[in-house]
Structure 1
Amino acid sequence: MDKTQFLNELEAKLAGLDSEEKQEVLADYMEHFAVGESSGKTEQEIVFDLGSPNEIARDILAERGGQLSEESYYMPNQQKKRGAGFKVGIFLAMLIPNLIIYSLLLSFWGVVAGFIGSTVGFFLTPLAFVLDAVLNQAFEWYKFFGTIGIVGLGFVFLVATIWLAKVMIMATVSYTKFNFHLMKGESRHV
């Protein structure tokens, strides 16, 4: 549902109000859309946050002592509640894709763990250099400059590790939320 559909449905459900009050309410909700759009939300996200026009109209009319007409109880966009059998069917239909996708996510988390281990290893190189110099009682310049280069590579790996971990967190959370919304039967998945 977009902004126009939302406002038209709300206006139709507020048929019991006089014209001036109805326009005030609609102006308030147009302002909600303006504020939401200025903060980067889509019209669908704003509608989702506001709730159904039916509930809004019911609350507004209840405050003013009115009631919704019988025809306003029809909501074409309302989803039916899914039964347990339907949810089991969705679970079974999503079982193989979930096994594949979660296996891929787990393998990519292994890559993240490898990057973390490499980064820690690169940053521990100066300790190894000092231990080598103390135990062998020899300071060698090529090892010193090699250590500096490896620590620099450690910083590159640190940035890559942080970026990769953020991407993996977003992917894992988004896919898990998608599955929860799918099982609940909600039309907004992510």
Structure 2
Amino acid sequence: MTRAEFMGRLRRGLVGMPAAAADEIAADYEIHFEDGAAAGRSEAEVAAALGDPDRLARELRAEAGAQRWHQEQNPSAAAGAIFGLIGLGAIDILILLPIVFPVFGAVLAVLVSGVAIFLAGGAVLVAGPFLGAPGGVLAAILMGVGLMGLGLFMGGLMAVLTKWLIDATVWYARLHYRVLKPALDNQPQAWGRN
């Protein structure tokens, strides 16, 4: 991506912000390109290092809204902060939903299947010896224990996978925390005072 393409997309993403703030942000990113050129880097390398300009604009708008709320604390500033954060999250939701629903659905399906297999194994273990199962009493008991073991394995595997998915979600949320951190750090700690 060229400098002009990157800056055009960044400026389009900053539409709606106060003009002075948008111009200051754009000037900062122009400096990145100038510094990169002075260091012998191509425009494409600098643009790749800076990341997606559309996402960057959403993050900058959210951060600007949070900072404005900290400075002004009026309904207009609150609305700007809320809409900036919703805009940041809305795109993420649209990107993540096609990935998250099938993954969590599959985990839930395997977990439910594991519970059903465990219960079926318990039923075979208890009733199998009395129903004249093929292979005799020992085969029915071993089959019941085996099915219960498979059900426990599936449940344990899904517990580990669920933990990994939750950790990944927390990691992803922490990526966005850096947008809010400057505004949160400057908030007064009123609940600790008497």
Q: TM-score, normalised by structure 1?
A: 0.43
Q: Which has the higher Rg, Structure 1 or Structure 2?
A: 1
Q: TM-score, normalised by structure 2?
A: 0.42
Larger fraction in helix: 2
